Chain A
Amino acid sequence: MFVTDFRRDFYDVIQTERVLLFVASDVDALCACKILQALFQCDHVQYTLVPVPGWQELETSFLEHKDQFHYFILINCGANVDLLDILQPEEDRIFFICDTHRPVNVVNVYNDTQIKLLIKQDDDLEVPAYDDIFRDDEEEDEEDEEQSGSESEGSEPSGKRTRREEDVIERTLKRRQRREWEARRKEILFDYEQYEYHGTSSAMVMFDLAWVMSKDLNDMLWWAIVGLTDQWIQDKITQMKYVTDIGILQRHVSRHNHRNEDEENSLSIDCTRIAFEYDLRLALYQHWSLYDSLCNTCYTASRLRLWSVQGQKRLQEFLADMGLPLKQVKQKFQAMDVSLKENLREILEESANKFGMKDMRVQTFSIHFGFKNKFLASDVVFATTSLLENIEKDASGTDNFIRALDSLSRSNLEQLYQGLELAKKQLRAIHQTVASCICTNLVISQGPFLYCYLMEVPGPPSSLGQDTLAPPHGRDVLTPPQGWDTLASSRGQEALLAPTPASSLLRARQTSSCSPSRPPWACSASTCCSPLFVRPRTSAVSCCP
């Protein structure tokens, strides 16, 4: 069932209990976890944190811990399956689920006792009505009919036949109704569960909870912003929803950061300040050189077709159009001439419009603390994602999770900078792979599907090593925004916005993986099937083992 009053029905219930936190491995879940941890620390709530990258881990951890806890909180996992069926818990265990995966499984919605969904109801859920799906005890009526039929046999032989006929007619009618109802039910459920999509970010939901309790801080607001930006970068939500949610967060930002910096009320330079920015869409451009950033951002790389020689020429034209000298553009952004940096955003937007990139600027936020630390929300998302997926140096999954979680705190700046370096490596590797795939025609089209085989050794043997692409996310991130635009431009089909999700298995080091794509009509629901916590279902999307 849906929790209406988060504070009363969720937080006050667990405040005095020990809880077990299951957190999925994506940045949105990490941010929600951070906010919840901060709230727990304020109120001294005992909790155990278990990272769960997939269904297997969820089940094993649950089996390990189920005897010690009565209350379980699941973040970004568990809403889209029949949880009680999979986990088989005791009767008195209660699950709080805060998940962005939609559609929410109907069993979870209509279970009143054990499953509580921390999901806002205005989130366009379109859950089918209870009566359309569940029917109580129809069989018993039929049995009673039959029994009364057989009892009345001995009493009135004359009226027996008519009553028998009536009974039979009634029963067939009921059966027909039941069959119709079941057919309708199947249709409704099919429509409901046909497409997968994502709802409001869990980090924003948790921030809302903190706000309701008046315990929201600027730091928590920043985590909510990062969670939302992660959803947008991974293409889990539509542009419209992103803009709406940014509007909501903007209100909070102005509430927290409205202090005018005048003589009397100046805030210490160490306090976090969040500001609204209408900034460029280039990945990590302030921590990299502008040239590198243009080459390695999915958006620009695919629009300018930078995998081809012509594309490189277009890039030079683009830079020349803006009047930026090549030497300046290739050095670190912070070292660029101030005169060039001043109007960079406007100039870039103008030139980008001429080259077919209409959405060069995006609404986002930046955080600023200390004298030299300024980050955009997307920077933090890329850094944290790369830390999560880091497979160098025998780091285990849990270590990566903890490191990524730490990097979100203000006090662990070195982790964040490490993450930024890793993110740069990752972006470069992704683009090299995509370029080589397209150039060597590895992308095969078969009817409405586009396939691409990624071997263990992708692209040119770079000094980055092949490791950077082996993690599952490497392929995740590789395909959705990439696959769309690059394939669209390479095939010259404007209508083809086929997302190509990588449904690689969750274990790293596969020998090969296949990236099937959805048929074009599926993308109108702006779906992007993320392999994590995908409902196992028998769909037409094939995956070669």
Chain B
Amino acid sequence: MDSAEVEFLAEKEMVTIIPNFSLDKIYLIGGDLGPFNPGLPVQVPLWLAMNLKQRQKCRVVPPEWMDVEKLEEIRDQERKEETFTPMPSPYYMELTKLLLNHASDNIPKADEIRTLIKDMWDTRIAKLRVSADSFVKQQEAHAKLDNLTLMEINTTGAFLTEALNHMYKLRTNLHPAESAQSQDF
């Protein structure tokens, strides 16, 4: 999977916006949206929120977990634990990136939030690397990791599976199977 695809999936998450126009309820395949009234908050998918924000038709309300104190707590907890802690949203990385790129004027202390999220991401990726390393060294058959988000899986997944494939091929060539027949001249 491409990172762009993961971001595309993340854009289905709902966020709250405050529009400055009015529109009746719209009926889309994925669900109903609206009605939109100026000044009244409404929940919309992220893709629509970004589009409206770029056309200056709404104001974005940051999700409640996007707050400096809360994120600091989560980050500290992440650093303490050895396993992965649950994240505030399964798409925390994409949401932060999109919201801070397009709507940073609606989000207070945007720079600190960006730093905190990056810290969390770095910690989790480091843990993932350590875990993959020990997995390979001890030649385990299977492993289980909780609380990973799709973006993190996607970042390491492709490389990890390819590497394991190669290692398997190399290992099987060292010990040829007994039932393998050799050619007779």
Question: What is A's interface to B at a CB cutoff of 8 Å?
Answer: 41-43, 214-215, 217, 264-271
Separation of A269 and B55 alpha carbons in the complex (Å): 22
Closest to B110 in A: A268
Separation of A266 and B109 alpha carbons in the complex (Å): 6
Q: List 25 A-B contacts (CB under 8 A).
A: A41-B55, A42-B55, A42-B56, A42-B57, A43-B55, A214-B20, A215-B56, A217-B56, A264-B108, A265-B108, A266-B108, A266-B109, A266-B111, A267-B104, A267-B105, A267-B110, A268-B104, A268-B105, A268-B107, A268-B110, A268-B111, A269-B111, A270-B104, A270-B110, A271-B104
A28–chain B nearest beta-carbon distance, Å:
24
Question: What is B's interface to A at a CB cutoff of 8 Å?
Answer: 20, 55-57, 100, 104-105, 107-111
CB contacts (< 8 Å) of A214 on chain B: these are: 20
Separation of A42 and B56 alpha carbons in the complex (Å): 7
CB contacts (< 8 Å) of A265 on chain B: these are: 108
Closest to A41 in B: B55
CB contacts (< 8 Å) of A217 on chain B: these are: 56
Separation of A217 and B105 alpha carbons in the complex (Å): 11
CB contacts (< 8 Å) of A41 on chain B: these are: 55
Closest to A266 in B: B109
CB contacts (< 8 Å) of A264 on chain B: these are: 108
A517–chain B nearest beta-carbon distance, Å:
48
Separation of A326 and B108 alpha carbons in the complex (Å): 46
Closest to B114 in A: A268
Separation of A268 and B107 alpha carbons in the complex (Å): 8
Separation of A81 and B105 alpha carbons in the complex (Å): 45
Closest to A269 in B: B111
Chain A CB within 10 A, most for which of B55, B56, B108, B111: B56
CB contacts (< 8 Å) of B20 on chain A: these are: 214
A100–chain B nearest beta-carbon distance, Å:
27
Separation of A90 and B109 alpha carbons in the complex (Å): 56
CB contacts (< 8 Å) of A267 on chain B: these are: 104-105, 110
Closest to B55 in A: A42
Closest to B52 in A: A42
CB contacts (< 8 Å) of A269 on chain B: these are: 111
A337–chain B nearest beta-carbon distance, Å:
30
Indicate if the CB atoms of B105 and A271 lie closer than 8 Å. yes
CB contacts (< 8 Å) of B109 on chain A: these are: 266
Closest to A265 in B: B108
Closest to A272 in B: B105
A268-B104, A270-B110 known; 11 new pairs, CB 8 Å cut-off, are: A42-B56, A42-B57, A43-B55, A217-B56, A265-B108, A266-B108, A266-B111, A267-B110, A268-B100, A268-B110, A268-B111
B134–chain A nearest beta-carbon distance, Å:
39
Closest to B107 in A: A268
CB contacts (< 8 Å) of B57 on chain A: these are: 42
Closest to B104 in A: A268
Chain B CB within 10 A, most for which of A42, A215, A266, A268: A268
CB contacts (< 8 Å) of B56 on chain A: these are: 42, 215, 217
CB contacts (< 8 Å) of B104 on chain A: these are: 267-268, 270-271
Separation of A41 and B51 alpha carbons in the complex (Å): 11
A233–chain B nearest beta-carbon distance, Å:
30
